[in-house]
C-alpha cells in the first residue's frame, strides 16, 4: 500500500538535495518519478527544483488553484507514474494535500512531500499543518543553529540585517532567512516585552504577551 510522506525541516537543511537524490534513485531504475514545485518562486514561469549544492532538475509547477489529483491521473494515463515528489510542500493548500492523499490511497502511488514546518513567526503553513495531520509517515530533516543545538525555527531578516517580527507569511524580496533553535529565535523575536509567538488558529494570529513572572524567573538563571 502506497503512503503519503512528509519530510520537514527548517531552512537550509538540505530538503531539496534529499528529494533530488530520492527521485534519481527511481529514475536510475527506469521508473517514472513526477516532480512538482511551487509556482510562487518560479523564475519566468519555469519549474525547477534547485539544491544548495548546485543540482537543478526540471519540475512541474503547481499553483494553489490546481487540482493535483486530476493532473496526476492525466499524467498516469500517458505514462505510468511510479512516484510523486513535491518540493516546497508548505505552499500546498489543505485541499491539495487531500488530493495527494487520494493519489496514494486510490492510485497506489507513493507521494513524497518536502517542505518547511513553520514560518518566520513560528506559525504553521497551511500545507504543512495538513500534512502533519494526515501524512502516513513524518520525517524530520535536521539542521543546526549557530550555537550547535537543533534548529527548528526560522528568523526573517530585512535587507539591513534586522529581524522582522511582522509581515506576510510569503514574501518575495531581499529578505534573508536563518535557521535557529527555539531559544535563539525567541531572543531575536522579542520586542522588548512581547514574544512573537502565535496561536495555531484559523483566525488571524495574535501576539502573546510575555508574563512578567517569566522574565523574573529567567533573570534568576543568569
The helix/strand/coil state of 200 is coil
Torsion sign over Cα 164, 148, 133, 112: positive
Strands 207-209 and 194-198: antiparallel
Q: Pick the catalytic residue from 43, 65, 79, 88.
A: 88
Strands 48-50 and 56-58: antiparallel
- Which residues are known binding-site members for substrate? 170-173, 177
Contacts of 106 (CB under 8 A, 6+ apart): none
Of 82, 4, 88, 79, which is closest to residue 50 (Cα–Cα)?
88
CA distance 103 to 105: 6
CA distance 37 to 50: 10
Phi, then psi, of 31 in degrees rounded to 5:
-95, 155
User: Would you mind telling me the total number of residues written for the chain in this entry?
Assistant: 222
Q: Determine the straight-line distance between the first and last CA of the chain, rounded to whole angstroms.
A: 54
- Which residues are known binding-site members? 9-16, 87-90, 145, 147, 170-173, 177, 181, 184
- Whether 88 sits among the annotated catalytic residues: the reply is yes
- Which residues are known binding-site members for ATP? 9-16, 87-90
Torsion sign over Cα 183, 222, 162, 214: positive
Torsion sign over Cα 127, 132, 137, 139: positive
Give the residue numbers annotated as catalytic, written as ranges.
Answer: 88
Amino acid at each position: 500500500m502506497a503512503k503519503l510522506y512528509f519530510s520537514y525541516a527548517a531552512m537550509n537543511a538540505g530538503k531539496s538535495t534529499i528529494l533530488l537524490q530520492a527521485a534519481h534513485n527511481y529514475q536510475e531504475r527506469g521508473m517514472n518519478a513526477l516532480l512538482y514545485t511551487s509556482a510562487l518562486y518560479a523564475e519566468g514561469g519555469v519549474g525547477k527544483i534547485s539544491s544548495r549544492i548546485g543540482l537543478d532538475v526540471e519540475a512541474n509547477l503547481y499553483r494553489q488553484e490546481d487540482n493535483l489529483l486530476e493532473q496526476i491521473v492525466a499524467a498516469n494515463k500517458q505514462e505510468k507514474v511510479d512516484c510523486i515528489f513535491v518540493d516546497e510542500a508548505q505552499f500546498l493548500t489543505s485541499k491539495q494535500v487531500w488530493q495527494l492523499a487520494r493519489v496514494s490511497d486510490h492510485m497506489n502511488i507513493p507521494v513524497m512531500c518536502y517542505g518547511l514546518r513553520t514560518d518566520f513567526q513560528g506559525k504553521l503553513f497551511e500545507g504543512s499543518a495538513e500534512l502533519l495531520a494526515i501524512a502516513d509517515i513524518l520525517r524530520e530533516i535536521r539542521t543546526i543553529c549557530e550555537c550547535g543545538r537543533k534548529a527548528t525555527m526560522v528568523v526573517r531578516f530585512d535587507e539591513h540585517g534586522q529581524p522582522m517580527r511582522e509581515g506576510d507569511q510569503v514574501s518575495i524580496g531581499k529578505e534573508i532567512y536563518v535557521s535557529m533553535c527555539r531559544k535563539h529565535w525567541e531572543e531575536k523575536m522579542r520586542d522588548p516585552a512581547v514574544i512573537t509567538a502565535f496561536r495555531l488558529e484559523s483566525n488571524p494570529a495574535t501576539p502573546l504577551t510575555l508574563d512578567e513572572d517569566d522574565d523574573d524567573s529567567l533573570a534568576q538563571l543568569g
